[in-house]
A and B are shown apart, each in its own frame.
Chain A
Amino acid sequence: MPTFYGTEVTSRLMLGTAQYPSPAVLADAFRRSGAGIATVSVRREAGGDQAGQDFWALIRDLGVAVLPNTAGCYSVREALTTAQMARELFDTNWIKLEVIGHADTLQPDPFGLVEAAAQLAEDGFEVFPYCTEDMVLCERLVEVGCKVLMPWGAPIGTGLGLNNIYGLRSLRAHFPDIPLVVDAGLGLPSQAAHAMELGYDAVLLNTAVAKAGDPAAMAQAFGLAVEAGALAATADPMDARDMAAPSTPVFGKAML
């Protein structure tokens, strides 16, 4: 299983906690998927309500590691303050760092991301940067202290899968010793399996499970797909070829 900042996790599936039809369905999805890490956020509570406190009790009962995010932050300053609040709230140095650069695609702002990652790493955070598959960006992130990289498969919430397989494969080859997680854009278990077959260490997803007609069943499907893909990656897949090659022996065929 992958090790993030010295902590070996129990699953290659990291699951978001947003958009489920109910807390009970969320809990069921975690149980059936076997996901070992839950992503969470920090948000205002409406006046007088206890939604945040109730949510925290639910997450604690799941018994999974918690990875808080800086979702929705468009500036370095916003991301830094959000990370600091998250560290105190969740009592962890882990932070899924999002510095968003564009509202339509929710793609990361690479310049702000590196700046924020550097300051957070300096401040003792263990940064999980939500990034693109841009190799230069990823090199910069590693240089400033990131020991995990989380390139997107496709824009958040689209379900488009792995948009740039060449880029993801190149990244894997370039960073053989850095844990790599495909974060965002997955819509189907087959896409998660593909990410694992490329040699990725884990996948992080939310919408594909939460917005499925049966979230718990889809969560289980993703859990199985991730394990299948990871096993395949260790099994030295055959090389693809253009021309057909018979699998049944030609030798010994009856002459009819």
Chain B
Amino acid sequence: MKIIVNGEALEPGAPTLAALLDDLGKGAAKVATSVNEAFVPKHQRTDHSLHDGDRVEIVAPRQGG
């Protein structure tokens, strides 16, 4: 399975969004997620299966104007 995470191609072993975050070391981090341009709330990450071609965005609090 190939997916795109924050613009970079990955072949994750993780079957779910929650597992992907754990593998990336962001399981406990303050982040928000979307898959294929749709918001995935924190409480749904464990049940959210990843599929070939998914585009995942993981964002954190950052500076803004």
| Complex interface: chain A residues within 8 A of B42 (CB) | 88
Asked whether B39 lies within 8 Å of A42 as measured between CB atoms, the reply is no
Interface 9-mer from A50-58, A158-166, A231-239: A50-58
B6 within 8 A of A: yes
Complex formed: what's the CA distance from A45 to B37 in Å?
Answer: 17
Asked whether A43 lies within 8 Å of B32 as measured between CB atoms, the reply is no
B25 within 8 A of A: yes
| Complex interface: chain A residues within 8 A of B31 (CB) | 45, 52, 89
Asked whether A77 lies within 8 Å of B63 as measured between CB atoms, the reply is no
| Complex interface: chain A residues within 8 A of B13 (CB) | none
Interface string of B11-45 (1 = CB under 8 A from A): 00000000000001100011111100111011000
Of the candidates B7, B59, B65, the one whose C-beta lies within 8 Å of that of A85 is B59
Q: How far is the CB of A89 from chain B (nearest CB, A)?
A: 5
Interface string of A81-98 (1 = CB under 8 A from B): 100111011100000000
| Complex interface: chain B residues within 8 A of A135 (CB) | none
Interface residues of A in 7-21 (CB under 8 A from B): 16-20
Of the candidates A20, A39, A85, A90, the one whose C-beta lies within 8 Å of that of B34 is A85
| Complex interface: chain A residues within 8 A of B39 (CB) | 81, 84-85, 88
Q: SS class of chain A's interface: helix, strand, loop or mixed?
A: mixed
Say which size band chain A's interface belongs to.
Answer: 35 or more
Complex formed: what's the CA distance from A19 to B47 in Å?
Answer: 38
B39 nearest CB neighbor, chain A only: A84
| Complex interface: chain B residues within 8 A of A86 (CB) | 32
Complex formed: what's the CA distance from A59 to B43 in Å?
Answer: 25
Interface residues of A in 66-125 (CB under 8 A from B): 68-69, 71, 77-78, 81, 84-86, 88-90
| Complex interface: chain B residues within 8 A of A184 (CB) | 65
Asked whether B65 lies within 8 Å of A206 as measured between CB atoms, the reply is yes
Complex formed: what's the CA distance from A161 to B58 in Å?
Answer: 36
Asked whether B65 lies within 8 Å of A56 as measured between CB atoms, the reply is no
Of the candidates B32, B57, B60, B64, the one whose C-beta lies within 8 Å of that of A39 is B64
Asked whether B65 lies within 8 Å of A71 as measured between CB atoms, the reply is yes
Q: How far is the CB of B42 from chain A (nearest CB, A)?
A: 6
| Complex interface: chain A residues within 8 A of B59 (CB) | 42-45, 52, 85, 89
Asked whether B62 lies within 8 Å of A51 as measured between CB atoms, the reply is yes
B8 nearest CB neighbor, chain A only: A47
Which A residues are within 8 Å of any B CB, using their own CB? 16-20, 39-45, 47-48, 50-53, 55-56, 59, 68-69, 71, 77-78, 81, 84-86, 88-90, 156, 184, 206-207
Q: List 13 A-B contacts (CB under 8 A).
A: A16-B64, A18-B64, A39-B64, A43-B62, A47-B6, A47-B8, A52-B29, A55-B63, A56-B30, A81-B39, A84-B32, A85-B32, A89-B30
